[in-house]
Amino acid sequence: MAAFLAAVRLARLGGNHPVLNPTLLAILIVVGLIKAAGISYATYLRGAGFVAFLLGPAVVLLAVPLYRHTQLIRASGPLILVALAVGVPAGLLSGVGIAWCLGASPRTLLSLAPKSVTTGIAVGISEAIGGVPALTAVLVILSGVVGAVLGPWTARLLRLRDDRVTGLAIGISSNGIGMARALQISEVAGAFASLGLSLNGIVTALLVPVLLHLLVRT
């Protein structure tokens, strides 16, 4: 937690540049300290287990920006449906498809499938379908950091002026880390990123086991 607070401070000193993502900086700080102290990951995890537990309650906080923009969200139903119809399959198929072409093992493919949803949900999905939860957690973090760094830049490159679209794209593809970055763009972008993250988590949790069952049967 101290590492994250230090990372937030560093990011602010750097003008909140996308590359200075607080989560990425905090990870690098913690890894460096663990390595320097010669502490095994298993020992660290036993001591930091309560932080992982807080992932569940933290998801509930996503309701706050949603509540503040209820009217706008209701008026954006078609946009949200299109974003989910395009974004969820793209998130599932891109990572798994690329890994499959590169010869990844079946267990790695299963671990990759839920990479675009928030960690608390992704780890549960990975456990249920036979993936490696620890690997899934790492992939979720990497996906979030990449989306948080490249998402706003991509939006500018595509000349997107609608914060709803930017927020949905970042939220669906980049989980909670991306949502935190979307909140820095605007409260509307943060609200729609929160919505995209939540709906993506629900749809992915329902869709991945069904697709896996169909593939096994065929």
Domains: count for the chain = 2
Q: Are both 34 and 80 inside the same structural domain?
A: no
Q: Are both 129 and 176 inside the same structural domain?
A: yes
Q: Choose one of 22, 38, 53: the last residue of a domain.
A: 53
Cα distances (angstroms) measured from residue 96 to each of 26, 109, 127, 177: 28, 6, 17, 21
Q: Are both 106 and 178 inside the same structural domain?
A: yes
- Nearby residues of 117 by Cβ (< 8 Å), 6 or more positions away: 125, 140, 175, 197, 200, 201, 204, 205
Q: How many residues does the chain have?
A: 218
- For helices 187-217 and 77-101, angle between their N-to-C axes, nearest 10 degrees: 50
Share of the chain above pLDDT 90, in %: 16
Q: Are both 43 and 63 inside the same structural domain?
A: no
Supply the pTM of this predicted model: 0.78
Domain that holds residue 182: 58-217
Confidence band for 130, pLDDT divided at 50, 70 and 90: confident
**pLDDT at position 80:** 92
Measured CA to CA, the distance from residue 115 to residue 173 in angstroms comes to 9
Q: Which residue has the tokens 């937030």?
A: 8
Cβ–Cβ under 8 Å, residues 191 and 62: no
Q: Which two tokens stand for residue 3?
A: 């590492």
Q: Are both 91 and 167 inside the same structural domain?
A: yes
Check whether 216 has a pLDDT greater than 70.
no
Measured CA to CA, the distance from residue 218 to residue 215 in angstroms comes to 5
Q: What are the pLDDT digits (tens) for 147-182?
A: 888 888 888 888 888 899 999 999 888 877 888 888
**pLDDT at position 16:** 77
Q: What are the pLDDT digits (tens) for 23-47?
A: 888 889 999 999 999 988 778 878 8
**pLDDT at position 37:** 92
